[in-house]
Amino acid sequence: MQMLWAYISEQNETVSNSAWALLILGVLLSLSIVVDTISRRTALPRISLLVLVGVGYALIQQGLMGREAEPLNGLREPLISLALVMVAFLLGGELTLSRLKSIGPLILVLSAAVVMGSLVTVFAGLWLLGYSFALAASLAAISVATDPAAVSEAIAESGKKSLVSRVTLGIVAIDDAWGIIVFGLCMALLSWIGAASGGASLMHALWELGGAVLLGVVLGFPAAWLTGQLKPGRPTQAEALALMLLMAGLSGYLNVSALLTAMVAGFVIVNVSSHHTRSFSEIEQIEWPFLVFFFVLAGASLTLSHLGTALGLVGAYIVLRSIGRYIGGYLGVLAMRQREPRLTTNIGLGLLPQAGVAMGMALLAAERFPEQGQLIVATVVTSTIIFELFGPLLVKRVIAKPGKNDAY
């Protein structure tokens, strides 16, 4: 018995990290099943529950064990990158040329107005409150993103088929695309401003955006061709997963925006390939386990010692983002009043839910600005839970008061 225990102890020193990583992955996927059951029975958002699981992990790791949470060791960054690439790729796949034409100027103007309202209000408000330029700009860019799933589910549950509900769905269909573009521009701008050598940093900023577009095109066209040559099933699944890994890996290697690369590749494939649905359906089938890891790890990234410091910033961010969404929607509706008088001016409040893309941006911003990283992550993780819990209620409230002739 003593020899057996000595052998186990000796082996534990060499394989404990990998064993713990596999054990944690298994536990997280098991918990996601429990979370899904709780969500269906209580109507609580799955995303918020998964983030709370991560916060619970951080609480155990930091509170009881007295150390910083670093779940899954070296697997954390690849899992997060892969999940974000999948989300952005599927988002790019929604941007078909026919859909963009059908969206029309009404939704484009309203979505741009809401984006600018959030961006300007959050940045100006946080900067005037004394927060650093980098922190204010990062959170302003993050504030642009919306959670399409939460908005869509809330509208579906309400049963409303009004003009307001259709316009809201149209806005969230392209809102995260705006968010990725704005976030990429913001990160490039901050890199340029913060660098010592202006010329070199400007080239780096342009490469980060232009290189992402170029890489997305270079990977997108061959993938579009290959999709039509492969039979549905395992070969297509392998091709889709290979594309995700290539985009995540090459983006990091070339130091370009992984989100923008994936969105451009998805856009190219969906508009070029006649068999584009195969790749996207395969990614949709395997996406959820990676999103489980992503949301839990986002919650686990929260440093509890910074939470008290971040409470004031969390409150300011929630208030400013809500005001910005409302003002943007209000001004957008006024601008289009002649074209469509039936729209309600509080439509921006129906765009408050915020989830995966926003947290992904927060983690990327934290890597770029480590001195502000903990505040950014704490703010976005905490506000995401609040927006996911109360945002759908506001969505239903906004679409619940249609005009007299609002059927569409």
CA dihedral 147, 152, 157, 161 (to 10 degrees): 140
CA distances from residue 42 to 35, 65, 140, 373 in whole angstroms, order as listed = 10, 32, 32, 33
pLDDT of residue 99: 66
Residue found by looking up tokens 């039979």 in the block: 231
Q: Is position 162 within any domain?
A: yes
- Write out the two tokens for 67: 């150390």
pLDDT band, residue 403 (cuts 50/70/90): very low
Question: Which candidate, 286, 315, 288, places its Cα nearest to that of 379?
Answer: 315
- Write out the two tokens for 259: 């989100």
pLDDT of residue 173: 65
Q: Is position 61 within any domain?
A: no
Question: Which candidate, 240, 235, 251, places its Cα nearest to that of 286?
Answer: 240
What CATH number corresponds to the domain at position 151?
Answer: 1.20.1530.10
Higher pLDDT, 84 or 158: 84
Residue found by looking up tokens 């916060």 in the block: 55
pTM of the model: 0.72
Q: Is position 49 within any domain?
A: no
CA distances from residue 3 to 6, 7, 15, 19, 265 in whole angstroms, order as listed = 5, 6, 18, 21, 56
Q: Is position 9 within any domain?
A: no
Angstrom distance (rounded) from CA 135 to CA 296: 24
Whether the CB-CB separation of 362 and 381 falls below 8 Å is answered with yes
Percent of the chain with pLDDT over 70: 75
Angstrom distance (rounded) from CA 294 to CA 287: 11
pLDDT digits (tens, 9 = 90+) for 177-219: 777 778 878 877 777 776 544 455 556 667 777 888 888 888 8
Angstrom distance (rounded) from CA 114 to CA 179: 11
Cβ burial, residue 64 (10 Å; 0-12/13-18/19+): exposed
Q: Is position 126 within any domain?
A: yes
Average pLDDT over every residue of 336-363: 77
pLDDT of residue 198: 47
Q: Is position 341 within any domain?
A: yes
Q: What is the length of the chain?
A: 408
Q: Is position 227 within any domain?
A: yes
Average pLDDT over every residue of 267-286: 72
Whether the CB-CB separation of 350 and 148 falls below 8 Å is answered with no
125 CB neighbour count, 10 Å cutoff: 20
**φ and ψ at residue 45, rounded to 5 degrees:** -65, 135
Instruction: Give the structural domain span for 180.
Output: 78-399
Number of domains in the chain: 1
Which residues, at least 6 apart from 301, have a Cβ–Cβ distance to it below 8 Å?
54, 58, 69, 363, 366, 377, 381
Look over the chain and give the mean of its residue pLDDT values, rounded to a whole number: 75
pLDDT of residue 196: 47
Question: Which candidate, 171, 180, 168, 237, places its Cα nearest to that of 208?
Answer: 180
Q: Is position 16 within any domain?
A: no
Whether the CB-CB separation of 175 and 351 falls below 8 Å is answered with yes
Higher pLDDT, 95 or 376: 376
| Helix or strand (DSSP H, E) at 206 | helix 198-229
Q: Is the pLDDT score of 67 beyond 80?
A: no
